[in-house]
């Protein structure tokens, strides 16, 4: 017990003794854990939404519909084709047939073709859409599918017109029977009043049955849809093959009958969200790589001091296990706090991303983080801190106590060429270049981190450009923003912010480590006649100089990343002006993040800095 207390006290004492380092380490690991949490939460959101919606709305296993047939689609469909399905073998429940009218909805200056399903006030046995805002259908009222409403910019209480008839928007709902907007016509089971199949862009609304019937015209008669639940949902495809026309995606069969299975709807929904995942996956890896780089710099910076500390503990009689326990206890505290903070941050930020734009039940309120996800985040936090701890412990365990005590920081390496060349440069560059030469591994890390950040941002830029081009070329959605791309843009924007924030943390940490490492040579340079401004500029340049090749390398890498990550292998280069701004902006940001703090913290008097011996 006494030993545990001792370990605890020593660990806390060390944390209090060097608060800045502890805080920076905490920051870096929290960045990693919050990114991971965010990624996991969003992943959870985007991978299983269909199932959640289907469970909540009693989604159908098979949706059977009959569309108007005949040369112009003006012949009223044969309801008799639907009747036997409700009592077919394997069917446990059915709802409908519900009338469906095709109309043009106008709102906010947009004119969009929609499917209007007529429903009863009483809940249906199969496919009762879940109302997420407002109420269910009423006389004179219309309920819009949620994603469709968001794309239109319509909210509960607004007014829209269907075929010039005004309706109040009484509610928003989600359903699993039909792929969400804009995938309503994913399988081309749609029809438009003009007889041409709309490829996409059709919206889904619900009305009272009477209102729906009222919308039917001789030119555009009603369709009907029947929702079925099977005893064994896995047999939906067999059922559809047995009872429906041969080939689902072909034009309507002679009876105008079409069957859509839940697996097909799920596939369509997931296809739409998988785009977001395609962006999220590489983005998360990049973010984690940046976070790991920060931790590596910090760990490297603390290495010498940790080694010496271990030496002192050994000299005082500490066994290797005791020493390991002390170091571990210290980092355990940081790891747990970082894990908790990361989980909290990810938990809070995820709803902002996932609820907007998903017609499926993403996360009303708080996303449920699976226990597995929480465990993974904690494990990662522990793993990263362990790595930061383990190396000095192993090193110290292997070196003799005497050497560990005498071990000041890694002696700086010597680069003859760099030193010779730097003599010809003006003072700040001379100082900066020589500082870079002292710690080459850190310079490489800086270059790598900058490359990674720029790569991520360039990929995002390319994706933006792609969506701009696509939107300009294919005005599919009657002028409405494509919600899929909208969601993707949102994810990309968040990713960019996260990348930039992580990168800033990385720069600050590296800048701090460099400044600490360079305290002695900086003081000496000032004693030999360098001004405070020159030394600060040199410190800043020591970061900018390696960042430059990193940023330049990141530009083509980002283009390659986009080409690899987007499904079509399309290679797109963002406009040169954007790239130039990114490059200069990155370098300016690095310079500012390191120059200003170093100038502020540089003390005027040189003597106290020199008095401190190197050990």
Q: Where along the sequence are the contacts to other proteins (CB under 8 A)?
A: 411-414, 419, 423-424, 427, 430, 434, 437-438, 520-521, 524-534, 604-608, 610-611, 613-614
Looking at the Cβ atoms of 419 and 444, the one nearer to other proteins is 419
Q: How far is CA 596 from CA 219, 301, 531, 583, 603, in A?
A: 72, 21, 15, 20, 13
Nearest to 336 by CA among 328, 324, 325, 348: 328
Query: Closest separation between CB of residue 519 and other proteins, Å?
Result: 12
Looking at the Cβ atoms of 317 and 608, the one nearer to other proteins is 608
Looking at the Cβ atoms of 365 and 529, the one nearer to other proteins is 529
Residue with tokens 């438009």: 192
Looking at the Cβ atoms of 398 and 613, the one nearer to other proteins is 613
Residue with tokens 């159908």: 60
> What's the rounded Cα separation, in Å, for the pair 333 and 22?
10
Query: Closest separation between CB of residue 532 and other proteins, Å?
Result: 5
99 backbone dihedrals φ, ψ, rounded to 5°: -75, 140
Question: Would you list the DSSP string of 202-231?
Answer: -EEEEEEHHHHHHH--SSS--EEEEEEEES
Query: Closest separation between CB of residue 557 and other proteins, Å?
Result: 32
Residues whose CB falls within 8 Å of the CB of residue 579, separated by 6 or more in sequence, listed in order: 458, 461, 555
Helix (H) or strand (E) holding 378: helix 371-398
Question: Cα angle vertex 541, ends 539, 547, to 5°?
Answer: 120
Give the SS3 label for residue 70: coil
> What's the rounded Cα separation, in Å, for the pair 88 and 567?
41
Query: Closest separation between CB of residue 414 and other proteins, Å?
Result: 5
Structure tokens, 432: 């900066």
> What's the rounded Cα separation, in Å, for the pair 591 and 450?
13
**Is the backbone peptide bond immediately before 97 cis, with ω within 30 degrees of 0?**
yes
Query: Closest separation between CB of residue 535 and other proteins, Å?
Result: 9
Query: Closest separation between CB of residue 521 and other proteins, Å?
Result: 6
Looking at the Cβ atoms of 85 and 409, the one nearer to other proteins is 409
* Helix residue ranges, H only, 18-108: 19-46, 49-57, 83-86
Q: How far is CA 362 from CA 146, 156, 173, 356, 589, in A?
A: 12, 20, 13, 9, 36
Residues whose CB falls within 8 Å of the CB of residue 313, separated by 6 or more in sequence, listed in order: 322, 323, 326
Query: Closest separation between CB of residue 536 and other proteins, Å?
Result: 11
Looking at the Cβ atoms of 218 and 614, the one nearer to other proteins is 614
Looking at the Cβ atoms of 238 and 612, the one nearer to other proteins is 612
Q: How far is CA 229 from CA 64, 88, 124, 226, 251, in A?
A: 11, 11, 12, 10, 25
CB 227 within 8 A of CB 124: yes
How many CB atoms sit inside 10 A of residue 381's CB? 27
Query: Closest separation between CB of residue 472 and other proteins, Å?
Result: 56
Query: Closest separation between CB of residue 610 and other proteins, Å?
Result: 7
Looking at the Cβ atoms of 307 and 522, the one nearer to other proteins is 522
CA torsion sign for 357, 359, 363, 368 is negative
Nearest to 41 by CA among 344, 313, 417, 340: 344
Query: Closest separation between CB of residue 419 and other proteins, Å?
Result: 6
Looking at the Cβ atoms of 262 and 439, the one nearer to other proteins is 439
Query: Closest separation between CB of residue 403 and other proteins, Å?
Result: 16
Looking at the Cβ atoms of 353 and 430, the one nearer to other proteins is 430
216 backbone dihedrals φ, ψ, rounded to 5°: -70, 140
Structure tokens, 335: 């790891």
Query: Closest separation between CB of residue 605 and other proteins, Å?
Result: 5
Residue with tokens 């449920």: 368
As separate numbers, helices (DSSP H) first and strands (DSSP E) second, the chain gives 19, 10
> What's the rounded Cα separation, in Å, for the pair 275 and 368?
22
Looking at the Cβ atoms of 83 and 444, the one nearer to other proteins is 444
Looking at the Cβ atoms of 473 and 611, the one nearer to other proteins is 611
Looking at the Cβ atoms of 89 and 607, the one nearer to other proteins is 607
Query: Closest separation between CB of residue 298 and other proteins, Å?
Result: 23
Looking at the Cβ atoms of 433 and 499, the one nearer to other proteins is 433
Query: Closest separation between CB of residue 533 and other proteins, Å?
Result: 8
Looking at the Cβ atoms of 427 and 500, the one nearer to other proteins is 427
Query: Closest separation between CB of residue 464 and other proteins, Å?
Result: 45
Q: How far is CA 251 from CA 29, 177, 191, in A?
A: 56, 20, 10
């Amino acid at each position: 017990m006494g030993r545990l207390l001792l370990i605890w006290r020593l660990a806390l004492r060390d944390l209090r003794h060097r608060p800045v380092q502890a805080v920076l380490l905490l920051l870096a690991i929290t960045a990693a854990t919050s990114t991971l949490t965010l990624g996991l939460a969003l992943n959870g959101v985007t991978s299983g939404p269909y199932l959640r919606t289907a469970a909540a709305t009693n989604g159908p296993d098979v949706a059977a519909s009959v569309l108007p047939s005949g040369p112009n689609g003006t012949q009223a469909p044969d309801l008799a084709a639907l009747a036997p399905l409700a009592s077919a073998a394997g069917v446990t429940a059915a709802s409908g047939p519900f009338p469906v009218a095709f109309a043009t909805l106008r709102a906010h200056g947009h004119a969009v073709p929609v499917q209007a399903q007529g429903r009863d006030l009483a809940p249906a046995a199969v496919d009762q859409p879940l109302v997420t805002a407002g109420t269910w259908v009423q006389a004179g009222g219309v309920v819009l599918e949620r994603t469709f409403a968001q794309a239109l910019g319509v909210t509960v209480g607004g007014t829209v017109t269907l075929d010039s008839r005004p309706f109040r928007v009484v509610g928003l709902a989600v359903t699993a029977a039909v792929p969400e907007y804009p995938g309503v016509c994913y399988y081309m089971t749609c029809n438009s009043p003009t007889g041409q199949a709309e490829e996409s862009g059709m919206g889904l609304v619900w009305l009272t049955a009477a209102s729906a019937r009222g919308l039917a015209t001789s030119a555009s008669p009603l369709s009907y849809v029947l929702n079925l639940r099977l005893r064994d949902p896995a047999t939906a495809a067999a059922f559809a093959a047995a009872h429906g026309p041969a080939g689902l995606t072909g034009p309507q069969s002679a009876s105008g009958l079409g069957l859509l299975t839940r697996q097909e709807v799920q596939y369509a929904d997931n296809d739409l969200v998988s785009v977001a995942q395609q962006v999220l996956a590489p983005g998360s890896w990049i973010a984690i790589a940046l976070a790991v780089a920060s931790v590596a710099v910090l760990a490297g910076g603390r290495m010498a001091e940790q080694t010496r500390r271990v030496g002192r503990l050994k000299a005082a009689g500490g066994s290797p296990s005791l020493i390991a326990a002390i170091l571990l206890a210290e980092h355990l505290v940081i790891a747990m706090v970082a894990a908790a903070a990361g989980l909290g941050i990810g938990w809070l930020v995820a709803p902002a991303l996932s609820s907007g734009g998903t017609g499926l039940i993403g996360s009303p309120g708080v996303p449920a983080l699976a226990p597995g996800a929480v465990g993974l985040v904690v494990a990662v936090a522990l793993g990263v801190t362990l790595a930061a701890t383990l190396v000095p412990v192993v090193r110290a365990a292997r070196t003799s106590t005497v050497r560990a005590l005498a071990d000041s920081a890694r002696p700086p390496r010597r680069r003859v060429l760099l030193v010779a060349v730097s003599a010809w440069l003006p003072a700040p560059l001379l100082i900066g270049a020589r500082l870079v030469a002292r710690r080459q591994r850190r310079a490489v890390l800086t270059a790598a981190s900058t490359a990674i950040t720029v790569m991520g941002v360039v990929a995002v830029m390319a994706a933006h450009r792609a969506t701009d081009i696509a939107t300009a070329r294919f005005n599919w959605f009657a002028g409405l923003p494509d919600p899929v791309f909208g969601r993707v843009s949102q994810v990309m924007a968040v990713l960019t912010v996260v990348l930039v924030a992580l990168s800033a943390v990385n720069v600050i940490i590296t800048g701090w480590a460099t400044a600490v490492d360079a305290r002695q040579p900086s003081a000496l340079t000032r004693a030999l006649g360098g001004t405070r401004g020159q030394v600060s500029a040199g410190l800043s340049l020591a970061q900018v100089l390696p960042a430059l090749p990193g940023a330049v390398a990141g530009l083509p890498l980002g283009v390659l990343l986009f080409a690899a990550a987007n499904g079509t292998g399309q290679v797109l280069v963002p406009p040169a002006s954007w790239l130039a701004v990114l490059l200069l902006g990155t370098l300016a940001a690095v310079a500012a993040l390191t120059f200003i703090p170093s100038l502020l913290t540089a003390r005027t008097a040189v003597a106290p800095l020199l008095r401190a011996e190197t050990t």
